[in-house]
Amino acid sequence: MDPQRKTMPGPMAQSSVKSARKSFAVTNAYVKSNAVQKEIISVHTSTPQVEQKSFKSEKSQIYQGEVNVLSIIDTTKEIMCCKYTEDMNDVAAGFTDGTIRLFDCNTGDCSHTLVDDECRAYPGPVTAIKHRPVSKAHPITNMLLASYVNGCIKCWKYKYDQCLYTIREKRQTLGLTYHPRYTKFITYGDDAKLNMYDEEAQTQERAFYSSQRKNIMDGHTSRIFACAFNPKSHHELISGGWDNAVICWDDRQPFATRYFFGIHMCGEGLDFDKPGKQVLTCSWQDKENIQVWDYGSCKLIETITPDTYQTKLYCGKFVPHTNLMVCGGSDTNLLRVVDVNMKITECSIRNNPGGIYAFDFGTIRRKPRKVPETYKTISEIHNVPRVAFVTGKRLQTVDFG
């Protein structure tokens, strides 16, 4: 039997009534700049020299551990996702009205607004914002790729507030993920399929889906919310969603090769460790929501319970070059930094204005403190980059340690 969802699905962004008017195509569009300062309620920023600064807007939040608030930006609309630009100078936020706004990391000012006539006529929440992974082989392009719940994928040249091209899918597109090395990306949505595109040609290469054979689990059966590429393979990737399964794919195979079962996902809660041997899952469920799996055998390595706060998680990632991970979710609206080895919460922010739908890593803001040779440090909290996260109508940036 195909697995059935045993838990209630997580909250979903409302799609546009007019979103049915869709077809697969690539078009060109150009955008005029629009003033949106009136939609930004307040901006509070802290310079790197000022730490533990208290803002009026954060009074309801509860901080545990060494948390330094760098900026708080309150708006009038719900924010669904965020992403730092390639040069780390701005952070882009995607709103429920289909608008993307870029905020300067130093001043908190809105530097760019990305919206075109199609977004205004058929508004749909922005479900993901990504850019090509930065590497020596890939120069900085000053471009962002965004997916929308109405089925659009738009490439923006944000320096000029210009949409370079639009791809339209006949579904609700719930997210996208770039290939770590090739100029390719994956989109996924409510039709239980993953579509792989060639970014340079702007064409679809293939789709990943179930064979629909009875008693065989070789693909998804419901909405897909997360996808991650294996960092040590050119061909392997995993995905998760509402069907309580994380599916393992190989683009050289027609259908999925294997799966983990028992993970109910409602956001980008999938990540590989650097060697590509372990998988982190952050699931939208009361218990066993942080788990580490062996990728090769699909067996559970351990379930992590870092504190007493049972939070249903939307998103989570390993912190590069450390034994830490960051995750966020709803209920207590909690963002926390967890030591995977010690199984404890190093830092956390509770009682945020809304669920933590998404976050992104920035740069490490300052040099690590000098530690005496006779003292062995245990905590790696100083190696955590700054984190920009969305919570309700707020975009907030924090640093740890």
pLDDT by residue (tens digit) across 367-380?
555 555 554 556 78
Work out the burial of residue 99: count CB atoms within 10 Å of its CB; fewer than 13 is exposed, 13-18 middle, 19 or more buried: buried
SS3 292: strand
Q: Report the candidate in 395, 354, 329, 316 with the shortest Cα–Cα distance to residue 60.
A: 354
Cα distance between residue 355 and residue 352, in whole Å: 7
283-292, Cβ contacts within 8 angstroms, sequence gap of 24 or more: 283/240, 283/312, 283/313, 284/7, 284/10, 284/312, 284/313, 284/314, 284/329, 284/330, 285/7, 285/312, 286/310, 286/312, 288/262, 289/313, 289/329, 290/316, 290/325, 290/327, 290/338, 291/263, 292/340
CA-closest candidate to residue 245, choices 13, 10, 6: 6
Higher-pLDDT residue of 313, 25: 313
**Cα 386–Cα 350–Cα 64 angle in degrees, nearest 5:** 65
Whole-number Å distance between alpha carbons of 120 and 161: 15
- When pLDDT is cut at 50, 70 and 90, the band that residue 362 belongs to is very high
pLDDT of residue 372: 54
Distance separating alpha carbons of residues 99 and 85, to the nearest angstrom: 16
pLDDT tens per residue across span 261-289: 999 999 999 999 999 999 999 999 988 99
* Residue that has been written with the tokens 């060109």 in this structure: 28
CA angle 312, 347, 293 (to 5 degrees): 50
Query: 120: part of which helix (H) or strand (E)?
Result: helix 117-121
Contact 71, 46 (CB under 8 A): yes
Backbone angles phi, psi at 239, to 5 degrees: -150, 155
Topology adopted by domain 27-41+75-334+358-367+375-385: Methylamine Dehydrogenase; Chain H (2.130.10)
Task: Locate 84 and state its tokens.
Answer: 């730092």
Those residues whose C-beta lies under 8 Å from the C-beta of residue 265, and which sit 6 or more positions away, are 225, 226, 240, 241, 242, 246, 281, 282, 283, 284
User: Is the pTM higher than 0.75?
Assistant: yes
Q: How confident is the model at residue 140 (pLDDT cuts 50, 70, 90)?
A: confident
Instruction: Give start and end residues of each alpha helix (H) in 236-286.
Output: none
Distance CA 335, CA 315 (A): 10
Per-residue pLDDT band at 310 (split at 50, 70, 90)? confident
- Distance in angstroms (rounded) separating the CA atoms of residues 20 and 222: 19
Provide the residue ranges of all domains of the chain, joining segments of one domain with +. 27-41+75-334+358-367+375-385
Length of the chain: 401
CA nearest neighbour of 238 among 314, 183, 293: 293
Residue 186 has pLDDT above 80, yes or no: yes
**Averaged over 3-11, what is the pLDDT?**
55
Cα(238)–Cα(259) distance, integer angstroms: 9
